[in-house]
Amino acid sequence: MMNKAIDLKDIELEMGMFQLFDITTAIPEGKMTAIIGPNGSGKSTLLKIITKLLSADKGEVAIQGKEAGDYSRADYARTISMLPQAKDMLPELTVRELVAYGRSPHKRLFKQRLTEEDQKIIDWAMKTMSIRRHDDRMFHTLSGGEQQKARIAMALAQKTDIILLDEPTTFLDISHQLEVMGMLRKINQEHGITIVMVLHDLQQAAAYCDHLIAMKDGEIISTGTPQTVITSRFLRQVYEIEAKVSFDQNYPVIIPIPKNYEEDATMIIVTNTSHITKGNGDKLIERFDRIGKVEGMEGFLGLEVLLTQNTAEYDEVSVVTRWNSKDDFQAWTRSEAFRESHSHRKTPDYIISNKIVFQEVKIKRNPLPPVHAEAIAEAKAQ
């Protein structure tokens, strides 16, 4: 088993509408790991718990085998650094001053002056992110991509074994995205720094990372190498899309399958036909009118009551109900409302015979929705 940089056990958190359940996973040391999943699945929250910006209701976080709670804030900042989402307004600073902030966990309150070693580390961080030429530029005059590189350089200057990044490429153009990902890969390979990031781009996550953690609705759905995680099943489960997945080297090729509504859509038509003694058809219809509540049933699509009076011996009354599925119809026959309307009534003697026919049909064109009494009244009023 690989060495664990970060070990999470039974993490749970409830924060208003938002929840994390039973998060148990390990992040391998010296590798690139991406946390993927739809918006609101708890990825950023998990990063915040790992960095102690949030505390979980339950569970344990261990960093390099030591409980997170056993680290002092400053020790922690020398072990694990994080690039938050680029939301905070920064004060007016030069790029070098921003990167120098990364040294502060290593400075005492009384000895703040940067030593030669600090300067060397700042130089190294800026060189690694290729922003040396911006040394004296004001940070806010840089483009978005260059700003992001400067922010990453600040995290690098912290000289930690683990770097977390929350959506490091989200607001960047494609060339800066690839540049930043390439730099992170290089940092990871040349210095063995464990990199964990929240990513939205599945292709980049798969291409650059060794290990993926997929989350949905506050739970971990699957973990593993990109090839094992990114599958058709995964896309259906996590993103609710149908797609074919194949890998072209490291890059997953995701081809969405357009939904075929004609093939999918079927419905159940239940036709309850009664033969009635001549001239009494209206009575049965009146009776049906008193049975309410079917409109509220799940899967109910519509209802027609048909009266045929042109036969010789009897009137024919058909009650046709349409349902999404047979189960939906059966749920109706078992419902309180149905039983109530049928139980304490004897079958009236004007009914000669009665039969029920079920048909499962494909929908080629949807029937008109049921017409509601209010809608009719409204139409009349106008």
| Cβ closest to other proteins, residue 52 vs residue 275 | 52
| Cβ closest to other proteins, residue 82 vs residue 199 | 82
User: Closest distance between other proteins and the C-beta of residue 153, in Å?
Assistant: 14
User: Closest distance between other proteins and the C-beta of residue 100, in Å?
Assistant: 11
| Cβ closest to other proteins, residue 122 vs residue 317 | 122
Q: What does the block give as tokens for 51?
A: 């960095």
User: Closest distance between other proteins and the C-beta of residue 49, in Å?
Assistant: 13
| Cβ closest to other proteins, residue 138 vs residue 255 | 138
- Counting Cβ atoms within 10 Å, is residue 131 exposed (0-12), middle (13-18) or buried (19+)? buried
CB 340 within 8 A of CB 240: no
User: Closest distance between other proteins and the C-beta of residue 240, in Å?
Assistant: 32
CA distance 205 to 236: 18
| Cβ closest to other proteins, residue 94 vs residue 277 | 94
User: Closest distance between other proteins and the C-beta of residue 112, in Å?
Assistant: 6
Give the count of beta carbons closer than 10 Å to the beta carbon of residue 196: 26
| Cβ closest to other proteins, residue 18 vs residue 358 | 18
3-class secondary-structure state, position 374: helix
User: Closest distance between other proteins and the C-beta of residue 203, in Å?
Assistant: 29
In 16-51, where do the E strands start and end? 18-28, 32-36
Task: Give the count of alpha carbons within 13 A of 6, CB side only.
Answer: 30
- Kind plus residue range of the DSSP H or E element containing 256: strand 251-256
Q: Which are the contacts of 230, defined by CB distance < 8 A and separation ≥ 6?
A: 202, 206, 212, 245, 252, 254
| Cβ closest to other proteins, residue 125 vs residue 270 | 125
| Cβ closest to other proteins, residue 157 vs residue 284 | 157
CB 165 within 8 A of CB 152: yes
CA distance 174 to 57: 39
User: Closest distance between other proteins and the C-beta of residue 128, in Å?
Assistant: 19
What does the binding site for other proteins look like in residue numbers (CB under 8 A)?
Answer: 51-53, 73-78, 81-82, 84, 88-92, 94, 101-102, 104-105, 107, 109, 112, 136-138, 141, 158
| Secondary structure letter of residue 138 according to DSSP | B
3-class secondary-structure state, position 246: strand
User: Closest distance between other proteins and the C-beta of residue 85, in Å?
Assistant: 10
CA distance 255 to 85: 30
Q: How many residues does the chain have?
A: 382
CA distance 301 to 283: 25
